[in-house]
Amino acid sequence: KAKALGGNRRTFYSEEMVDAVTRKLAVELALRHALEQEEFQLYYQPQIRSCDGKLVGVEALIRWRTGEGELVSPGEFIPLAEETGLIVPIGEWVIRTACCQAVSWQCGGKADFQMSVNVSPRQFQEPDFVHRVSAILEETKLSPECLVLEITEGISIQEEERTVAMLTALKEIGVQISMDDFGTGYSSLSYLHRFQVDSLKIAQSFIGGIFNSSSQAAIVKAILAMAGSLNLKVIAEGVETKEQFEFLQANGCDWIQGYYFYRPLTKEQVERLL
């Protein structure tokens, strides 16, 4: 296309580039609009304790219900929200909404019910992130230990000192920290220790591979054994079959999350379960 536009001369902006920029601007506008028009919605995927099948918590997962009624998954807009910085207000909305929801479910009788929320690296970079979380806890009156912030290994590589300081401050206000998608990034034991995480979530890709690959099964067993000796709680995500569940249960995995038990549910669906 660049050639068509510029003949044999070098052109700096191909049609594709212009399209990409235009699309990005359009998405940014649409995301801003979505936030103002309250088009975001949280789904909640139940987490099950593997020893007795008890419902012990949920993970909040964002969806975008567009004006046209289409349901857009986070994989499609979170990266753009990150790039544009809009993840900061969107993420704050997620935390506040999830905390309010947790309080209302706890008042319904589930006192120790845990609410997990995904926090993206960009949100974490905000200097006042800890302050904002703390303000939301005060405002909603949720007990801090019921809120679990899921971070990914991606936050850790740059600015490790700062990350440690932030996580220490978050621990001080009493929230829990979970390492999401464990095993896919730069996971190292020293990180888990330095970051004082309370739990880790074994990445879905490992769970899917348990019965296809003996090395994946060995990795899952090793993660469970290691976490056990470090006193870390382990959550397996993406559990889709009875066999996977039984393997995890037999190897001491504490909590299970996956389609085998429940898909992400609307708040009304969770209420029917509780």
Q: Which residues bind ligand C2E (CB under 6 A)?
A: 45, 61-62, 73-75, 78, 91, 94, 118, 120, 150, 180-181, 204, 237-240, 257-259, 264
45 binds, among ligand C2E, Mg ion, none (CB under 5 to 8 A by kind): ligand C2E
Axis crossing angle, helix 15-36 with helix 74-84, rounded to the nearest 10: 100
- Pick the closer one to Mg ion by CB: 32 or 209: 209
- Measured distance CA(153)–CA(127) in Å, rounded: 19
Phi–psi pair at 262, nearest 5 degrees: -145, 145
Beta bridge partners of 114: 57
Least separation in angstroms between CB 17 and Mg ion: 29
Q: Does 150 bind Mg ion (CB under 5 A)?
A: yes
Nearest to 141 by CA among 117, 116, 107: 107
Strand spans (E) along 23-103: 40-49, 55-65, 71-72
- Pick the closer one to ligand C2E by CB: 12 or 186: 186
Question: For Mg ion, which residue of 57, 87, 130, 181 counts as binding (CB under 5 A)?
Answer: 181
- Pick the closer one to Mg ion by CB: 37 or 205: 205
Least separation in angstroms between CB 264 and Mg ion: 11
- Are 199 and 232 contacting, i.e. CB atoms less than 8 angstroms apart? yes
- Pick the closer one to ligand C2E by CB: 80 or 217: 80
- Amino acid at position 188, single letter: S
- Pick the closer one to Mg ion by CB: 32 or 63: 63
Q: Which of residues 120-149 bind Mg ion (CB under 5 A)?
A: none
Hey, what are 138's tokens?
């005060």
Axis crossing angle, helix 87-107 with helix 129-140, rounded to the nearest 10: 30
Residues lying near Mg ion in the complex (CB under 5 A) are found at 118, 150, 180-181
